[in-house]
Structure 1
Amino acid sequence: MSYSLPGKTFYDELPNPVTANITQWSAVRSDVNVSFASDNVRYPKEQVPLVSSDEWATMAWKGKKIHTQILVWTKKDIPAGKYTGSVTVNAGEEFVLRISLDVAVHILPSSSEWKFDLDLWQNPDPVAKVHGVELWSDEHYRLMRPYYEMLAGAGQKSITAFIIDQPWGPDIIYHRNPTFIKWSRKKDGSWSYDYTVFDKYVEFVMSCGIDQRINCYSMITWDLNFIYFDEAKGDTVSVFAKPGSQAYNELWEPMISNFTNHLKSKGWFEKTTIAMDERDMEGMIAVMALLKRVDTEWKTALAGGYHREIAMDIYDYCIIIHDKFDEDILEARRAAGLPTTFYTACGERRPNAFTFSPPAENVWIGWYAAAEGFTGYLRWAYNNWTEDVLRDTRYKTWPAGDCYQIYPGPRTSIRFEKLIEGIQDFEKIRILRNKFSSEGDIVKLDELNIVLSNFTQENLENIPAAEIVKKGKEFINRF
Structure 2
Amino acid sequence: MVVYNVIPIHSLEKVFPDGDPASMRIDTVTGLAGETVSFQLAYRVEDMVDAGAAKVAKGMDGHSSGRVCGDDERPTLAESAVNDTCVNQFVTRVTVSGLLSAHAHVRAVRLVHADFVAYPGTIDGAYISDRSGSYPDLLQDTDGWVAFMPGQWRSLWVDVELPAIEETDEEMEERTSALEFAFTRRDGAEVARASVEIHRIPAQLPELTLQHTEWLHADCLAQWYGVPVWSDEHWTIVERFVRAAVKRGVTMIYTPLFTPPLDTVVGGERLTTQLIGVTRKRGVWSFDFARLERWVAMCRAAGVRQFEMSHLFTQWGAAHCPKVIARVDGVERKLFGWSASATDPADGYPDFLAAFLPELDRELRRLGIAGDTVFHVSDEPVSDNLDSYLAAKAVVMPYLKDYRIMDAVSHVEFYESSACEHPIPADDAIEPFVRAGVKGLWTYYCCAQTTDVPNRFMAMPSYRNRILGFLLYVYDLAGFLHWGLNFYNSQYSMRPINPYTEAGTPEGFAAGDAFLLYPGPKGVPEESVRIMVLEEAMNDLRACRLLESLAGRDRVLTLLRDGLDHPLTFADYPHDAQWLLARRAAINDAIHALSDHALRVTA
Normalising by structure 1, report the TM-score.
0.80
**Cα separation, 2, equivalents of 1:33 and 1:116:** 41
**Cα separation, 2, equivalents of 1:376 and 1:134:** 34
**Cα separation, 2, equivalents of 1:55 and 1:430:** 26
Alignment of 1:53-452 (within 5 A): 56-68=27-39, 69-75=157-163, 76=165, 77=168, 78-79=172-173, 81-90=175-184, 94-109=191-206, 113-168=207-262, 170-171=264-265, 176=271, 178-186=273-281, 188-211=282-305, 213-222=306-315, 224-228=320-324, 229=326, 231=328, 235-239=333-337, 240-246=339-345, 247=347, 248-275=349-376, 276-279=378-381, 280-294=385-399, 296-305=401-410, 306=412, 307-309=414-416, 314-315=421-422, 317-324=423-430, 326-327=433-434, 330=437, 333=439, 338=440, 340-349=441-450, 350-385=453-488, 387-395=497-505, 396-408=507-519, 409-437=524-552, 444=555, 447-448=558-559, 450-451=561-562
**Cα separation, 2, equivalents of 1:59 and 1:468:** 16
Q: How many Å apart are 1:298 and its aligned residue?
A: 3.5
Cα pair distance change 1:329/1:138, threshold 3 Å = same
Q: How many Å apart are 1:301 and its aligned residue?
A: 1.7
**Cα separation, 1, equivalents of 2:579 and 2:274:** 42
DSSP-derived class of the 1:86 partner: strand
Q: How many Å apart are 1:456 and its aligned residue?
A: 2.1
In the alignment, structure 2 segments of 5+ residues that lack a partner are 40-156, 490-496, 591-603
- Residue identity opposite 1:473 in structure 2: R
**Stretch deviating more after TM superposition (249-258 or 61-70):** 249-258
- Residue identity opposite 1:469 in structure 2: L
DSSP-derived class of the 2:533 partner: helix
Cα pair distance change 1:203/1:311, threshold 3 Å = farther
**Cα separation, 1, equivalents of 2:161 and 2:403:** 41
CA contact 1:116–1:376 (8 Å) conserved in 2: yes
CA contact 1:32–1:91 (8 Å) conserved in 2: no
**Cα separation, 2, equivalents of 1:189 and 1:107:** 57
**Cα separation, 2, equivalents of 1:57 and 1:218:** 46
Cα pair distance change 1:377/1:202, threshold 3 Å = same
DSSP-derived class of the 1:59 partner: strand
Cα pair distance change 1:437/1:37, threshold 3 Å = closer
Q: How many Å apart are 1:231 and its aligned residue?
A: 2.9
Q: How many Å apart are 1:310 and its aligned residue?
A: 5.5
**Cα separation, 2, equivalents of 1:54 and 1:329:** 45
**Cα separation, 1, equivalents of 2:419 and 2:335:** 36
TM-superposition CA deviations, 1:218-266 (whole Å, max 9, x none)? 1111272442336367532444344444344234222223322333333
TM-superposition CA deviations, 1:148-184 (whole Å, max 9, x none)? 2221122322121122224115359997462222334
CA contact 1:55–1:97 (8 Å) conserved in 2: no
**Cα separation, 2, equivalents of 1:101 and 1:465:** 23
CA contact 1:185–1:231 (8 Å) conserved in 2: yes
- Residue identity opposite 1:477 in structure 2: N
Q: How many Å apart are 1:82 and its aligned residue?
A: 2.5
**Cα separation, 2, equivalents of 1:435 and 1:403:** 38
Cα pair distance change 1:117/1:169, threshold 3 Å = closer
Q: Percent identity?
A: 17
Cα pair distance change 1:230/1:119, threshold 3 Å = same
**Cα separation, 1, equivalents of 2:363 and 2:285:** 14
- Residue identity opposite 1:70 in structure 2: V
- Residue identity opposite 1:320 in structure 2: A
TM-superposition CA deviations, 1:112-158 (whole Å, max 9, x none)? x2212211111223333333333212232223333222211223221
CA contact 1:292–1:298 (8 Å) conserved in 2: no
Q: How many Å apart are 1:399 and its aligned residue?
A: 0.8
Cα pair distance change 1:272/1:287, threshold 3 Å = farther
Cα pair distance change 1:215/1:281, threshold 3 Å = farther
Cα pair distance change 1:347/1:467, threshold 3 Å = farther
Q: How many Å apart are 1:344 and its aligned residue?
A: 0.6
Q: How many Å apart are 1:465 and its aligned residue?
A: 4.7
DSSP-derived class of the 1:373 partner: coil
Runs of 4+ in structure 1 deviating by more than 6 angstroms, as ranges, are 172-175
**Cα separation, 1, equivalents of 2:8 and 2:342:** 55
TM-superposition CA deviations, 1:311-339 (whole Å, max 9, x none)? 69635x42211123544754x62xxxx4x
Cα pair distance change 1:164/1:128, threshold 3 Å = closer
DSSP-derived class of the 2:6 partner: coil
Cα pair distance change 1:465/1:283, threshold 3 Å = farther
**Stretch deviating more after TM superposition (169-178 or 288-297):** 169-178
**Is 1:478 the equivalent of 2:589?**
yes
Q: Tell me which residue corresponds to 2:568.
A: 455
- Residue identity opposite 1:219 in structure 2: L
Cα pair distance change 1:154/1:291, threshold 3 Å = same
Cα pair distance change 1:433/1:311, threshold 3 Å = farther
Q: How many Å apart are 1:205 and its aligned residue?
A: 1.2
**Stretch deviating more after TM superposition (450-459 or 412-421):** 450-459
**Is 1:35 the equivalent of 2:140?**
no
1 or 2 for the larger relative contact order (CA 8 Å, sep ≥6)?
2
CA contact 2:213–2:252 (8 Å) conserved in 1: yes
CA contact 1:370–1:426 (8 Å) conserved in 2: yes
- Residue identity opposite 2:471 in structure 1: Y
In the alignment, structure 1 segments of 5+ residues that lack a partner are 1-28
Question: What is the alpha-carbon root mean square deviation over aligned residues?
Answer: 3.2
Give the number of equivalent residue pairs: 432
Cα pair distance change 1:286/1:361, threshold 3 Å = same
- Residue identity opposite 1:322 in structure 2: D
Cα pair distance change 1:431/1:49, threshold 3 Å = closer
- Residue identity opposite 1:40 in structure 2: L
CA contact 2:4–2:192 (8 Å) conserved in 1: no
Cα pair distance change 1:182/1:314, threshold 3 Å = farther
